[in-house]
Amino acid sequence: MAVVVLGSVRSCGTTSSAVALAATWPPARKVVLVELDPAGGTLAASSGWAAEPSLVSLAAAARRTSDPEAIWGHCQHLPGGAAVLSAPGAAEHARSATRMLSGLLGRLSTLDTDVLVDAGRLDPTAPLPGVATGASRLVLCARPRLSDLHALAAFLDAGPGAGLLDAGRLGLVLVGDGPYRDAEIADALGVEVLGRIPWDEGAVGCLATIPASDRRLRLSPLVRAARSLATVLADDVAHAPEAVAASGHDEAAPPRRRQGRRLLRPFVVPSIPDSAGAAEARGDVGIAAGSAEGDGALGAGAGGNGRLMNGSAPGGEAAR
């Protein structure tokens, strides 16, 4: 069964994405969400669960057994039935438990279930979590904004995940709105974009108490996007790009490997003649995308209706 590891270079909704995917995972397939954020877990507190069973109680049990099947006795459950192995809130306790469980966690791929791993914020100077070695897919979460994508490019160039990228196992999920299209981001970073998940803290909070199939949630943008992406990852990670495109997401061009990624650059707004001041005030003046050399640098202009090219309202970015 598949092991899908989710992580981010900056804190940008990795846990929210992991919970949404677990809550919308195809019901015909068993799934467990494992929280391995080195900064400490948040799922138990946000869901109102007791401190144990958890990663800590599993670490204590692992002194007597290294069988990965032991995980089932230490899980909580989301309202829809997905099992969750939650981490303690303290970073020191979370890291200690993860070290004690290194052998067991490295064998999660032998379980007869799909495994989602919330790896939290990834450290570019440290190796990826051991569980990522046998992962079917490493999914990086990022906001489609200039600063976050530059940080992601630096992380990719630093080395971690290079083997996964070469093997075609590295993918990107964009969290929230931004001015860049999926295909532009994939081309610049050399990583395929699997899809987008809206930033909706309210809906994520509801998933801790209400099944995703509930009429109050099932048609929300977050649940619909997560269900589409979950189906792609669960059915066949090898065909994820085609499936995501078919589901209605912005189709990403096949990523091209480069000797150094093209960094996204901010755009210089040209000076506007005084005569155009009134038009500017009405929002009728667009900002052209691209560099002076016409090299196709990433960007999005504002159309006459005052909206960005990807349909997001100006200033309506996901997380701040």
With bands split at pLDDT 50, 70 and 90, how would you rate the model's confidence at 55? very high
Residue 274: which pLDDT band, with cuts at 50, 70 and 90? low
**Chain segment 146-156, per-residue pLDDT in tens:** 999 998 998 88
Q: Is 125 within 8 Å of 158 (Cβ atoms)?
A: yes
Question: How far apart (Å, rounded) are the C-alpha atoms in residues 164 and 137?
Answer: 8
Residue 319 in this model has a pLDDT that exceeds 90: no
CA distances to 211, 251, 262 from 248, rounded to whole Å, are 24, 8, 27
Report the 10 Å Cβ neighbour count for 42: 18
In this predicted structure, the answer to whether residue 318 has a pLDDT above a threshold of 70 is no
* Cα 39 to Cα 189: distance, rounded to the nearest angstrom: 27
**Is 104:70 a contact under the CB 8 Å cutoff?**
yes
Answer whether residue 257 shows pLDDT above 60: no
Answer whether residue 249 shows pLDDT above 70. Answer: no
Q: Residue 33 pLDDT > 60, yes or no?
A: yes
Vertex 166 angle, CA 114 and 153, to 5°: 95
- pLDDT reading at 287 higher than 60: no
pLDDT in tens, 65-111: 888 999 999 999 999 899 999 999 999 999 999 989 988 888 888 89
Domains of the chain by start residue, with CATH? 3-246 (3.40.50.300)
User: According to the model, what pLDDT value does residue 317 have?
Assistant: 39
The mean pLDDT value for 294-300 works out to: 39
What pLDDT, on the 0 to 100 scale, is given for residue 306? 33
